């Protein structure tokens, strides 16, 4: 039995998406990808791994440049079918002695590095018309005798995909359409199924790869829920105090304090998003301009119901949470309050959420004076609390859909496609009530470990429902 991880050489003409395929499957953002032809100058190997466990290996290679000349050289050796693979290897040795076939030498060398079979993944652009001039490339790959599949990458459109399927089907046992920039996790797993069909000896290793990658994905969901829980607690517990220099400066100091308060909230959220990016192996940058745009979006009260609960839900669950938290007070005093805690809690919760909508300009507890200090925070607005959670879920959704072939590392909240994620639909009424109570509690005191755990579990439930 061969325990060596399966190896694949990704080949094709220049600028057809070879490096993008490698970047997406290997989940690496630092592979150079460019619209400029000939960016990849030499073959380079990348391990697809989880926790330092190598699952399989991919080689990114330069594109074919002189395929017809190579095919002419191979044919001039007059090999029979049993000698063709060796003839290709002889050509590699010959090419090393001349600069004429540098790209073809770099391209073909990885195919014969592994003593066991190396799979060939041939990438073409489905938005360009098929042309017989590439058939020299197809014949060379056929001569290697190695298991091979073709990927049709619809870079700009799928106009010529069917034409490519007809042509490539004559040279490759498996032909798939695969867009490395937009392919989701399930599509990447389906591609591994195709790899398994190429060589029977790879099935065990690649099935294990699928299992490990799925487990890692679930682990990312759990770690993401922790980061979001931590950020929400920090934001909703935030309070800033500023000494009063002089009574005449109070209004000025209030404005400065509010600006500082908002800035710290945005920094907490931005740092959370950066951590989420690192978890998913995306090197995200958040510019000062993006932070300003995000500040405007986060504190835009008109958007809160897009990110969080709608108005009806907010009133309903705030009232219910207030009632149950009030009931807890009644129990703590042995019922001596004659259920006044529960009744007043429900009324305050419902009225408070209505006030949050009607007087939403008062989105945090008033800036007030305490002794010789001005104090701001914590935020008590329920609509804001749910919006904060919704933004995190939406950001993570966008991050999850973002492949490593997309190397634009600037992400702002305003770029998020899924504002109205309807994430609340993934929770039962009981779970939404639990979530509301947790957000109310953290506004008054830090969460206990058990409460943090409940919050994480609810977020995991939401993330799972979003097909993260």
The predicted-structure confidence for 100-113, as pLDDT tens digits, reads as follows 999 999 999 999 98
Query: Per this entry, what is the length of the chain?
Result: 468
CB under 8 Å to 168, separation ≥6 — which residues? 122, 124, 138, 150, 152, 175
- Whether the CB-CB separation of 153 and 123 falls below 8 Å is answered with yes
Please name the residues in contact with 197: beta carbons below 8 A apart, sequence gap of 6 or more. Answer: 173, 174
**Backbone φ/ψ region at 51: left (φ over 0), alpha (ψ -120 to 50), beta:** left
CA 358 to chain centre: 37
**Edge-to-edge strands of the sheet including 53-60?**
44-50, 53-60, 7-12, 118-125, 148-153, 174-177
In three-state secondary structure terms, 293 is helix
* pLDDT beyond 60 at 410: no
Collapsed DSSP state (helix, strand, coil) of residue 465: helix
Percent of the chain topping pLDDT 90? 53
DSSP letter for 64, please: P
Average pLDDT over residues 226-238: 96
User: What pTM value is reported for the model?
Assistant: 0.81
CATH value of 7-198 in 3.90.1150.150, 3.40.800.10, 3.40.50.300, 3.30.56.10: 3.40.50.300
Are the C-beta atoms of residues 301 and 424 closer than 8 Å to each other?
Answer: no
The closest alpha carbon to 14, from 106, 119, 145, belongs to: 106
Q: Which residues, other chains included, contact 206 with Cβ-Cβ below 8 Å and sequence gap of 6+?
A: 6, 55, 56, 192, 195, 196
Query: Per the structure block, which two tokens stand in for 433?
Result: 């009530």
Dihedral, 102, 105, 107, 112 alpha carbons, nearest 10: -160
Q: Residues of 260-276 as b/e, b for ≥16 C-beta within 10 angstroms?
A: ebeeebbebbbebbbbb
Distance of CA 254 to the CA centre of its chain: 39
The pLDDT tens digits for 303-329 are 887 788 887 888 888 888 765 654 444
Mean pLDDT of 31-44: 66
Nearest to 264 by CA among 224, 213, 298, 315: 298
**Section 349-355 average pLDDT:** 45
Query: Residue 121: what pLDDT?
Result: 97
Residue 124 pLDDT greater than 70, yes or no: yes
Q: Where are the domains of the chain?
A: 7-198, 217-465
- On the question of pLDDT at 414 being above 70, the answer is no
Q: So what's the pLDDT on residue 449?
A: 96
Give the pair of three-digit tokens for residue 187: 């599509």
On the question of pLDDT at 130 being above 90, the answer is: yes
Across the range 129-147, mean pLDDT stands at 96
- The secondary structure of 333-388 as a DSSP string is TTTTTTTHHHHHHHHHHHHHHHHHHHTTT--SSPPEEETTEEEE-----HHHHHHH
337 — pLDDT class (breaks 50, 70, 90): very low
Given a cut of 50, whether residue 330 has pLDDT beyond it is: no
**pLDDT of 307:** 81
pLDDT of 205 over the 70 cut? yes
């Amino acid at each position: 039995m061969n325990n060596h991880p399966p190896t694949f050489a990704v080949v094709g003409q220049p600028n057809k998406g070879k490096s993008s395929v490698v970047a997406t499957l290997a989940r690496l953002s630092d592979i150079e990808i460019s619209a400029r032809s000939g960016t990849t100058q030499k073959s380079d190997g990348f391990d697809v791994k989880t926790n330092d466990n190598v699952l399989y290996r991919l080689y990114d290679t330069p594109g074919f440049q002189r395929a017809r000349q190579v095919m002419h050289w191979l044919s001039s050796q007059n090999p029979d079918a049993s000698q063709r693979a060796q003839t290709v290897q002889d050509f590699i040795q010959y090419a090393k002695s001349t600069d004429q076939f540098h790209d073809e030498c770099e391209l073909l060398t990885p195919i014969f590095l592994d003593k066991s079979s190396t799979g060939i993944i041939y990438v073409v652009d489905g938005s360009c018309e098929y042309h017989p001039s590439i058939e020299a490339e197809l014949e060379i790959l056929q001569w290697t005798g190695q298991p091979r599949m073709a990927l049709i990458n619809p870079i700009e459109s799928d106009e010529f995909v069917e034409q490519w399927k007809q042509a490539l089907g004559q040279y490759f046992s498996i032909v798939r359409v695969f867009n490395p920039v937009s392919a989701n996790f399930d599509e990447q797993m389906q591609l591994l199924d195709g790899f398994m069909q190429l060589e029977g000896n790879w099935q065990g290793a690649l099935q294990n790869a699928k299992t490990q990658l799925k487990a890692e994905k679930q682990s990312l969901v759990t770690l993401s829920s922790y980061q979001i829980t931590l950020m929400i607690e920090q934001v909703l517990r935030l309070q800033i105090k500023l000494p009063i220099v002089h009574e005449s400066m109070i209004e000025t100091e209030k404005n400065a304090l509010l600006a500082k308060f908002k800035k710290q909230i945005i920094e907490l959220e931005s740092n959370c998003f950066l951590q989420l990016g690192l978890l998913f192996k995306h090197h995200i940058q958040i510019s000062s301009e993006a932070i300003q745009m995000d500040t405007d979006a986060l504190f835009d009260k008109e958007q809160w119901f897009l990110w969080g609960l709608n108005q009806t839900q907010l009133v309903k669950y705030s009232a219910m949470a207030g009632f149950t938290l009030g009931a807890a007070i009644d129990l703590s005093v042995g019922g001596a309050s004659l259920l006044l805690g529960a009744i007043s809690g429900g009324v305050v919760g419902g009225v408070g959420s209505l006030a949050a909508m009607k007087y939403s300009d008062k989105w945090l507890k008033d800036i007030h004076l305490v002794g010789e200090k001005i104090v701001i925070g914590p935020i008590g607005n329920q609509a804001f609390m749910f919006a904060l959670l919704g933004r995190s879920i939406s950001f993570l959704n966008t991050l999850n859909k973002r492949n490593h072939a997309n190397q634009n590392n600037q992400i702002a909240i305003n770029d998020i496609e899924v504002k109205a994620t309807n994430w609340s639909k993934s929770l039962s009424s009981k779970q939404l009530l639990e979530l509301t109570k947790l957000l109310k509690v953290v506004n008054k005191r830090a969460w206990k470990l058990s409460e943090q755990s409940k919050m994480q579990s609810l977020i995991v439930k939401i993330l799972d429902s979003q097909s993260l």
